[in-house]
Structure 1
Amino acid sequence: MNKQILDSFTKDALEAARANNTYRSMRLMETPESSHVKIRTANGVSQEQILLASNSYLDLANIDELKQAMAQAVLEWGTGSGGARLTTGNKMPHQELEEFIAKFKGEESAITFNTGYMANVGTISSLCGKNDFIFSDELNHASIIDGIRLSRAKCFVYKHNDMADLRRVIQEAEKSRTYAPTSPIPHKLIVTDAVFSMDGDLANLPELLRIAKENDCLLMIDEAHATGVLGKTGRGLAEHYGCAHADVTVGTLSKAVAAEGGFVAGPKQLTEFLKNKSRSFIFTTAMAPAVAAAACNNLRYIDAHPERVQALRDNVKFFYESLKREGVNVEQSPSAIVPIVIGDEAKAMQVSAKLQELGILIPAIRYPTVAKGQARLRASLMATHTKEQLQTAASVMADLIRHLD
């Protein structure tokens, strides 16, 4: 191995990251992810923590009946799938999961991918090509951005959640069209997160539907942080607003559903198209059937226990109220993501580190995940947090913010 060449590729970037407070490292968790965990510190000591950093919003991963169901699925189906879905990998748990996703989301059909990232990349790059137009919210997730890049479509970025600016860029795209007789008519796709993962705010689905219809666009939403969280029964953004669904709904099974994988839900013809067109579906080994079975069981649990979704919603409301009582300036959202913007990267890291010393794990989110100067503490709530835990976190955080240099 030519270590000198490898070092030249990596050393400067790592040193720069350390210098500007954007260097990343991983924590080691010694217990299953839940509202209360143990973290191993740098000096090897186990430390009790209130966990306010998890996307497992409903805390399903620690329910005994769901763990036992997954263990049984491993005994029945083994530990792996053995191949891609279109060769030897397709198993009954995959089909049952897709059928239940479609039912849960109120769609005709669904198709699963190994991750939500693969679902976004594979769907966008299948639906659009170099002659097409994509209209993307400026705060969309990296997987959406990467899907757009792979599609080679012409991308028009509109200001975050700004419907007037979306209309403007659609008009701009129309003006850029070539109207020669041989020119193909471009497909047009509006794509957005449902819940924006760093701000916790929601896409304006009713207005997006209206704009898409008026301008002959398809509308695609990514419900990674909405499924299991938004709506009375956790079915997502359309249930929250009480409106129609987007043309294409993407989601993940790794957050509130507490399993692994991603999905696309919509018309049957859409999912058949993706089976035949999406490279991230065709050219990968299928998820383990036991994982598919676990995801299906967990979704069934959400379907049967809407009170779990309500408990999460109650916790979100209580935490916002606690922060405001403590004098912390936050804008409330119905999602389970609560951003507390600090601004300076070093100060955000300072508060996060001190919180962890005091037994509260809330990560500092910094550039390039968010814009420079917009560093924040990103709290993620779970249905099983107690009011005492949330009040403690709010009080300690407020005190640390008040005493920042």
Structure 2
Amino acid sequence: MSKILDEFLKSNLNDLKDNGLYNEINVVSGANGAVINVEGQELINLSSNNYLGLATNEKLKEVAKSAVDSHGVGAGAVRTINGTLDLHVELEETLARFKGTEAAVAFQSGFNCNMAAIQAVMNKEDAILSDELNHASIIDGCRLSRAKIIRVNHSDMDDLRKKAKEAVESGLYKKVMYITDGVFSMDGDVAKLPEIVEIAKEFDLITYVDDAHGSGVMGKGAGTVKHFGLEKDIDLQMGTLSKAIGVVGGYVAGTQDLIDYLKVAARPFLFSTALTPGDTRAITEAVNMLMASTELHDRLWENGNYLKDGLKSLGFNIGSSETPITPCIIGDEKTTQTFSRRLMEEGVYAKSIVFPTVARGTGRVRNMPTASHTKEMLDEALSIYEKVGRELNVIS
């Protein structure tokens, strides 16, 4: 190995470990459900994005196996050559109905969506107003576009209005976009979409909502935009198919012209092999299930509220979450790591999240209850939280 690379790696790894910022990766044996097996230990799982339990759903497994039998294990090509299967067309038509838009396009991941769509629509002659707590994939997509990036204070509508006015009236940019998460994944708060739309109309901003943590969760399952009834007002709706939907991939939904353009201009669509047949068919089945019934959605919210109330009554700082995402904010990074390890030792898997994912001094364990958890599981988790919280003086 290069000596300079070796020194670089050792120095940075040691620094991360010394400051409680090094992330230990745990290996799950078997399926990622409400209870998981990590290194031979059965743990109540509160760290999965599998909000509705669909990642282990029997019906989805059946249709995925059937698609493998009929279409093979891989799509065989990029979408623009001969990798567009009838299954992909069916999925995208289903997604458009689900999101209330004219059309939709599927990508290989939610991260790919933001890399693709932002770069395709925006360029160095434009400006992007971006909420300061937006997901890393949004930040990377903005950087790739080469547009001027203007950071907006988190969910601060006065700051958005001020910076939108400055950007538009400066005459420096051909287009100005405002981009925000629908649900912010670290704190569980929801974007102020009605106010955002009002400001966007005033200054003719392009609006982009990353609803990775809202799809399947907000709007009776159809997402944050649908929750506010703004399907006709948001230009680009992006979402993931790997969280509440339970499989893998992502999508962008909007007008037919937007989707037609992305299919000829979005680089991950043009240069990366399409979603596999099994995944594609399972996603379509999952979305159809959500359109047919709100049972899983309702159970998720019931469990989320139950856990949130329990943690709050114990004295934990759960921030200002408006969704089932429930952080327990510890603060100090090393204490946060210790807290997470002790939870695991006692039977709860709740992963620590520290800088750079969240700001320094705001370390937390983030709880993600799902529709698959039982009240007995949640009660046991709360009991363990109380024990460890008192032991480490996180609660009194």
User: Shared topology, TM-score over 0.5?
Assistant: yes
Equivalent position of 2:15 in the other structure: 16
Q: Is the 8 A contact 2:316 2:329 kept in 1?
A: no
Asked whether 1:66 is paired with 2:66, we answer no
CA drift of 1:171 comes to 2.4
The answer to whether 1:202 aligns with 2:190 is yes
- CA deviation vs aligned residue, 1:88-144 (integer Å, no higher than 9, x gap): 211011111000000111110000111100101110111111110110000000110
What amino acid maps onto 1:251 in structure 2? G
Instruction: Map 1:101-120 onto structure 2 (within 5 A).
Output: 101-120=95-114
1:173 positional shift? 1.8
Deviation at 1:246, TM superposition (A): 1.2
Give the partner amino acid of 2:71.
W
Unpaired runs of at least 5, structure 1: 41-45, 179-184
Alpha-carbon distance in structure 1 between the residues aligned to 2:16 and 2:331: 17
Q: Secondary structure at the match of 1:134?
A: strand
1:30 matched residue in structure 2: 29
Equivalents in 1 of 2:156, 2:390: separation in Å? 33
Counterpart check, 1:90 vs 2:90: no
Identical amino acids, percent of aligned pairs = 41
Aligned to 1:43: none
Residue 138 (1) aligns with residue 122 (2): no
How far is 1:332 from its partner? 5.1
Alpha-carbon distance in structure 2 between the residues aligned to 1:242 and 1:264 = 18
2:265 is aligned with 1:277: yes
The structure 1 segments of at least 4 consecutive aligned residues displaced by more than 3 Å after TM superposition are 174-178, 242-245, 331-334
- Asked if the contact 1:212/1:219 (under 8 Å) is kept, the reply is yes
Alignment correspondent of 1:53: 47
Equivalent runs, 1:149-228 vs 2, <5 Å: 149-174=143-168, 176-178=170-172, 186-228=174-216
Aligned position for 1:359: 347
Select which of 215, 233, 240 maps to 2:227: 240
Matched residues in 2 for 1:28 and 1:391: separation? 25
Deviation, 1:5, is 4.2
| Inter-partner Cα distance in structure 2 for 1:375 and 1:290 | 38
| Structure 2 residues without counterparts, runs of 5 or longer | none
Change beyond 3 A, Cα 1:13–1:176: farther
Asked if 1:251 corresponds to 2:250, the answer is: no
Name the structure 2 match of 1:287. 275
- Alpha-carbon spacing, 1:90–1:242, altered in 2? closer, same or farther (3 Å): closer
Q: 2:218–2:224: 8 Å Cα contact kept in structure 1?
A: yes
Once the two structures are TM-superposed, the CA of residue 290 in structure 1 deviates from its matched residue by: 1.9
Question: Within 2, Cα distance between the matches of 1:94 and 1:214?
Answer: 37
How do residues 341-352 of structure 1 correspond to structure 2 at under 5 angstroms? 341-352=329-340
Aligned partner letter, 2:37: K
Map of 1:378 onto structure 2? 366
Q: Is the 8 A contact 2:152 2:160 kept in 1?
A: yes
Deviation at 1:9, TM superposition (A): 3.7
CA contact (8 A) 1:320 1:332 kept: no
- Give yes or no for contact 1:199–1:338 (8 Å, CA) kept in 2: yes
* Aligned residue pair count: 392
Shift of 1:299: 1.1
Taking a change above 3 Å as real, the CA distance of residues 275 and 243 of structure 1, as seen in their structure-2 partners, is closer
